[in-house]
Amino acid sequence: MTVPVHGLPPMLREGMRVAVVPPLLKGDRWHMVGSVSADGGPGQMVALSGVRDIAAADELVGKTLLADVADLPEGYALHDADALLGREVVDERYGALGAIDEILVGVANDVWVIQGPYGEVLVPVVDEVVSPPDGEGPIRVSVPAGTIDDGEA
C-alpha cells in the first residue's frame, strides 16, 4: 500500500518508473509499476517489478517512491504545495488577487487561501476556475461570482 504525501492525490500508474529512497543495501533501486488499484482510501495498492514476495515488500515499508516529474499525471502542478505557496494569482475580472498563502486539502478539491488587496480570498482548485500554471508567472483564475465582495449584488 502506498500513501501520498504533502496533500498530493495518488499519482502512481502502470508503467511508471520509480526509485526507492533510501535505497536498499542490496537489490534494485529502480522499479516499474506493474499494477495499481485503489481501495477507496487515500492510498493505492501497487505491484512493483522485482518485488516478488512479502519479505521483499516488507523491506520497502517506510520508504519513499520517487518518480520523474515528466511521468506525473496532468494537473500535478495544481497540487504541488512547495511550488504553489507564494505564487501570485491574477483573476480575469479583478486583476491581481495576491499570493497563495495556504492550501486547504479537501475531499472533492483543494482550496487556495490567497492574501492580497481583497483580503483573504478562497479559490477552489477546479478546472472551471483555475488555468494550468504557465511557467513561473502568475496563475490565472476566473473566480466564481460572489467570491469577492465588490459591492455588486
The confidence score (pLDDT) of residue 135 equals 75
pLDDT at 127 over 50: yes
Query: Is the domain defined by 78-141 classed in CATH 3.40.50.300?
Result: no
Residues of the chain with CATH 2.30.30.240: 78-141
| pLDDT digit string, tens, across residues 132-146 | 887 788 999 999 988
> In sequence order, what DSSP letters do the residues of 55-110 get, joined into one string?
HHHHTTTT-EEEE-GGGSPTTGGGT-HHHHTT-EEEETTTEEEEEEEEEE--SS--
pTM, two decimals, is 0.60
| pLDDT digit string, tens, across residues 82-97 | 788 899 999 999 999 9
Residues 6+ apart with CB under 8 A from 101: 85, 113, 114, 115, 120
| pLDDT digit string, tens, across residues 52-81 | 999 999 999 999 999 888 887 766 667 677
Better-scored residue on pLDDT, 153 or 81: 81
- Residue 114 phi/psi, 5° resolution? -110, 130
